[in-house]
Amino acid sequence: MASETHVLDRPPAGANADWTIPQRWDAYSAEDHATWDTLYARQMKLLPGRASDAFLRGLDALKLSESGIPDFEELSDRLEALTGWRVVAVPGLVPDDVFFTHMANRRFVAGNFIRRPDQLDYLQEPDVFHDVFGHVPMLADPVFADYLAAYGRGGLRALELGSLKQLARLYWYTVEFGLVQEPEGLRIYGAGIVSSASETRFSLDDPSPNRIMLDLARVMRTDYRIDDFQQTYFVIPSFDELLRLTVETDFAPVYEAIREEQEIAVDEVLPKDDVVTEGTQHYARSKA
Ligand code: HBI
Ligand code: FE
């Protein structure tokens, strides 16, 4: 997941000009692979019936059930055959323009390191479990794959327009923390949720957070928190609708329209909102 910490301004020694590095699959220890397997088993107890159908199909199509940290080359060969995307390793957070250029060209950047066994529940930098288990299954879905490539192009444009903050909120509330309405009920597709056992439960089962139908300008005005569970989740009716919204809307006039408007707080519910569930905010208040 994105955060503002530890972003270098040029590729570190040993990295390529585009910031990619070799995954060095052979360098993982038995403990590293065991950490992946522990996290995988924990999520797979929770995700059937909670994760979106597209996510679960992606896991299957990419054979992510095989034990151990995936080899990016093998994984990319499977993924490329489905949607044209590949997974490339990077040393950590990369600059925004580098991140978006890879994305626009259907390369998903992933950390190659894995969290330590004492960090199973929380870490700030995106590791291989968050990036690969969390993000890559959705990229096996042709519609979502097109959405993320369009987002990459939109990111480059937002940098030129000075509107990255607004666009980044769309990423946060869809790619990282999105919920989707499916015939059997709400389901998770955001990578920040599907890679976290506690937020998998919280985002769907807890009465605390708001769950609100996604409106583009509304989301682009909404703050988010990087330090704890979200206080509001945004729901899309389908991935087709998300893609349509993104490719058929020129974001420049949206950025203009909201430029003078106030930011919306993380827990706010507006009269115009199409509310799925209004949260009690009990969880956030209990910590304040
Ligand atoms: N780099 N590796 C990595 N992963 C990210 O999620 C990421 C990044 N660099 C920038 C970035 N995210 C943000 O610019 C976007 O989320 C807006
Ligand atoms: Fe992420």
What ipTM does this complex have? 0.94
Residue nearest to atom 6 of ligand 1 (CA): 2
In the prediction, which pLDDT does 1 show? 41
- Read off the pLDDT of residues 69-81 as tens digits, 9 standing for 90 and up: 999 999 999 999 9
Average pLDDT of the chain?
95
Element (H, E) at 145: helix 142-161
Please report which confidence band the pLDDT of residue 287 belongs to, taking 50, 70 and 90 as the band edges: confident
Residue 100 CA, closest ligand 1 atom number? 14
Interatomic CA distance for residues 32 and 117, integer angstroms: 8
Residues near ligand 2 ion, CB 5 Å cutoff: 1, 191
Q: By C-alpha distance, which of 237, 129, 100, 114 is closest to 191? A: 129
In the prediction, which pLDDT does 4 show? 45
Residue 87 beta carbon below 6 angstroms from any ligand 1 atom = no
In the prediction, which pLDDT does 154 show? 97
In the prediction, which pLDDT does 6 show? 65
Quote the percentage of the chain above a pLDDT of 90.
91
- Residue 159 in tokens: 């940098």
Residue 90 beta carbon below 6 angstroms from any ligand 1 atom = yes
136 pLDDT above the threshold of 60: yes
In the prediction, which pLDDT does 5 show? 55
Residue 276, Cα to own-chain centre: how many angstroms? 21
Residue 7 CA, closest ligand 1 atom number? 9
- Read off the pLDDT of residues 182-203 as tens digits, 9 standing for 90 and up: 999 999 999 999 999 999 999 9
Residue 96 beta carbon below 6 angstroms from any ligand 1 atom = yes
The torsion of the CA quartet 103, 243, 135, 133, rounded to 10 degrees, works out to -140
Average pLDDT over residues 143-151: 98
Domain boundaries, the chain: 25-287
Report the number of secondary-structure helices (H) and strands (E) in the chain.
14, 7
Average pLDDT over residues 83-109: 96
Only one residue has tokens 């910490």, namely 5
- Residue 139 in tokens: 């990229």
Residue nearest to atom 12 of ligand 1 (CA): 2
Three-state secondary-structure class, residue 89: strand
Please report which confidence band the pLDDT of residue 122 belongs to, taking 50, 70 and 90 as the band edges: confident
Residue 40 beta carbon below 6 angstroms from any ligand 1 atom = no
Average pLDDT over residues 210-219: 98
Please report which confidence band the pLDDT of residue 3 belongs to, taking 50, 70 and 90 as the band edges: very low
CATH code assigned to 25-287: 1.10.800.10
Only one residue has tokens 């910031």, namely 19
Please report which confidence band the pLDDT of residue 288 belongs to, taking 50, 70 and 90 as the band edges: confident
